[in-house]
Amino acid sequence: MTKNSPVQATKNTGVRLDKWLWATRFYKTRALAREMVQGGKVHYNGQRCKPSKITEVGATVKLAQGFDEKEVTILVLFEKRQAAAIAQTAYLESESSVRKREENAIARKNNSFFAPHPVNKPDKKQRRELLKLKSS
């Protein structure tokens, strides 16, 4: 890689965990990545840690992202935020993690069929009737 290349992976030196999560686009902001690590939503090599934890190539990171949990292995360390296509090459998601996410997505989709949303909001009269039904 050249000195001015947009993809600059760090060599031999580690990167803070919150910075790596932000650079690889797991979280939109570094502050959000920091909050997730502090809140215990991110585990580094199976343990809770601080946002300042120095990451290493080959380590496993288990993180919550929306409704899903991902388990990834670090392949490349980035300090700066990368394009989505480049960021996805920095880690490898485990097969069990991918399978579990797909199963959860199907379950969420099937659950939405049993609890459909109304087409439009109830008007004032309909709201009063709903309140009567709920209170009685």
Q: What is the pLDDT of residue 3?
A: 45
Contact 88, 76 (CB under 8 A): no
Q: Is residue 106 part of a domain?
A: no
Q: Is residue 27 part of a domain?
A: yes
Q: Is residue 135 part of a domain?
A: no
Q: Which domain holds residue 32?
A: 1-98
Q: What is the pLDDT of residue 115?
A: 72
Q: What is the pLDDT of residue 93?
A: 95
Q: Is residue 83 part of a domain?
A: yes
Q: Is residue 123 part of a domain?
A: no
Query: Tell me: the pLDDT tens digits for 30-41?
Result: 999 999 999 999
Q: pTM of this prediction?
A: 0.74
Q: Is residue 46 part of a domain?
A: yes
* Count of domains observed in the chain: 1
Contact 90, 24 (CB under 8 A): yes
Q: What is the pLDDT of residue 136?
A: 76
Q: What is the pLDDT of residue 11?
A: 54
The DSSP code sequence of 84-133 is HHHHGGGEEE-HHHHHHHHHHHHHHHHHHHHSPPPSS---HHHHHHHHHH
The domain that holds 75 is classified in CATH as 3.10.290.10
Q: What is the pLDDT of residue 6?
A: 44
Alpha-carbon gap, residue 44 to 92, rounded angstroms: 15
Q: What is the pLDDT of residue 26?
A: 95
Q: Is residue 56 part of a domain?
A: yes
Query: Tell me: the pLDDT tens digits for 5-19?
Result: 444 554 557 899 999
Instruction: Name, in order, each residue with C-beta under 8 angstroms of 21's C-beta and a sequence gap of 6 or more.
Output: 27, 33, 36, 37, 42, 61, 63
pLDDT lower than 50: segments of the chain? 1-7, 10
Q: Is residue 7 part of a domain?
A: yes
Q: What is the pLDDT of residue 64?
A: 92
